Amino acid sequence: HSTANNEVRSPQPYSPDQKFEDLPNSAAEADIAAVELKSPQNRQLEGAAATESNLKSALAEGYEYVHLAVHAVTSDDPDRSSLIVLSDPSRGEDGFVQASEIVQMRLRTKLVVLSACDTNVGPIQGEEGISALSTAFLLAGAKTVVSTLWPIEDKSSLVLMKDFYQHLGAGQSVADAMAGAKRDLLTKYGANSSPIHWAAYVVQGAEPQPLGDRGTTLAARTLE
């Protein structure tokens, strides 16, 4: 997430040594989600805690709401499109959470928000449609996924997510909350609210029930 300069698209194997720009507002996104979800069972993975092994462990715990404010890598090989978190060499994790790993998870998640670049972008796979990170989460069992159609900017993403979670916390559906957040931006910023800053976010999947007792805001991190 951040700017278009953060987009990485490669058909070749990528390197754990790749450098990514800082995401100064990613932790703030997680904080906003935690406040609006209003659950004492929230778990936040930020900074040094945002490792691949911690993320996978948390996803396996069955949280109903997951917010991921991270970088993403797209690839011409759909299995290699990945979310980027911290590596954990001692546990054999390189920090690239690949689509091929995600589809093998058994998620009971009502909502996954992929606040990262191009998470609904990928090659067309015949009748199956677009093979993207968002699709991997749906195949793994997530009921609804919020994802992006192009690179997103860090600051405008924070503004949109704040309004989105306020609408969601007020009892609106995911689709209505996202539509409301986009309308809020248009109202607040008028001609300065270019669609490039808010229109990338889309909602896929079945509509979950109203907010339950469990939630999580995972893997929001500031990259060093």
* pLDDT for the residue numbered 54: 95
Q: Rounded distance, CA 204 to CA 177, Å?
A: 13
In the 8-state DSSP scheme, what is residue 48? Answer: G
User: What does the alpha-carbon distance between residue 67 and residue 216 come to, in Å, rounded to a whole number?
Assistant: 7
The pLDDT tens digits of the residues spanning 104-151 come to 999 999 999 999 999 989 887 765 656 789 999 999 999 999 999 999
Q: What percentage of the chain carries pLDDT values higher than 90?
A: 56
Q: Is 204 helix (H, G, I), strand (E, B) or coil?
A: strand
- Specify the higher pLDDT residue, 108 or 24: 108
pLDDT score at 159: 94
Q: What does pTM read for this prediction?
A: 0.84
Q: What is the pLDDT of residue 19?
A: 62
pLDDT at 15: 54
Task: Tell me how far apart the alpha carbons of residues 15 and 80 are, in angstroms, rounded to a whole number.
Answer: 12
Of 2-11, 40-49, 82-91, the least confident? 2-11
| 150-171 residue pLDDT tens | 999 888 899 999 999 999 999 9
CA dihedral defined by 173, 206, 196, 118, rounded to 10 degrees?
140
Q: Which two tokens stand for residue 137?
A: 């989460």
CA distances from 25 to 75, 154, 196 (A): 25, 6, 18
On average, the pLDDT of the chain sits at 83
pLDDT value for 27: 85
